[in-house]
Amino acid sequence: MTPTVLNRICARPVVVSWIIGACVMEAFVLGMLVDGVRLTSIASDWQGLALLLLALTATAGLGFFLGMFTCWPWIRPICSRFNGAPLKTGDRVLVLAGPYKGTTAQVYGITIGQGGWSLARLDLGPAHRDKFTDIVEEYSVLKINGDESKGTR
């Protein structure tokens, strides 16, 4: 099974949350400018353009921060479901992100992480099992067996 672009994007919900947060903050700043001032009049002056770029840079940074707290709680479960979660022991998965990207493995256990989210333990060999380096988030893998209609539209 070949993962779609949306499967690959959903394997990185942190980045999705950051981008959504930054875009919302940028829209807020640009929306404030529309109130009586034309963007072309600001951009024609080099000082106005420099201040606009400074404001957009600062709000993008704030948007990254806010995106993690406002978007992450609902983006993460959506991405997990899109990539085939919830996983069960015995499911075959393709790793989409992280150091094992491109690896196909079988889930041998499900554990609960510190945030209360389900984490999958993949059969990557005894060395990984002993060092606990076989634990992945459910959103970073794509289920390739079972109900294959999920996440492959």
148 has pLDDT over 50: no
User: How does pLDDT run across 61-98, given as a tens digit for each residue?
Assistant: 888 888 888 887 889 899 999 999 899 999 999 999 98
Provide the pLDDT for residue 40: 67
What distance in Å separates the CA atoms of residue 109 and residue 93, rounded to the nearest whole number?
13
Non-local (6+) Cβ contacts of 76 within 8 A are 13, 117, 139
Contact 134, 122 (CB under 8 A): yes
Rounded mean pLDDT, 13-25: 89
- Do you find a cis peptide bond into 77, omega within 30 degrees of 0? no
**Digit-coded pLDDT (tens) for 104-141:** 999 999 999 888 888 999 998 888 888 888 889 999 99
User: Cβ(54)–Cβ(47) under 8 Å?
Assistant: no
Q: What's the CATH class of domain 84-143? A: mainly beta
User: How far is residue 86's CA from residue 118's CA, in Å, rounded to a whole number?
Assistant: 8
Domain with CATH 2.30.30 in the chain: 84-143
Give this prediction's pTM. Answer: 0.74
CB atoms within 10 A of CB 4: 14
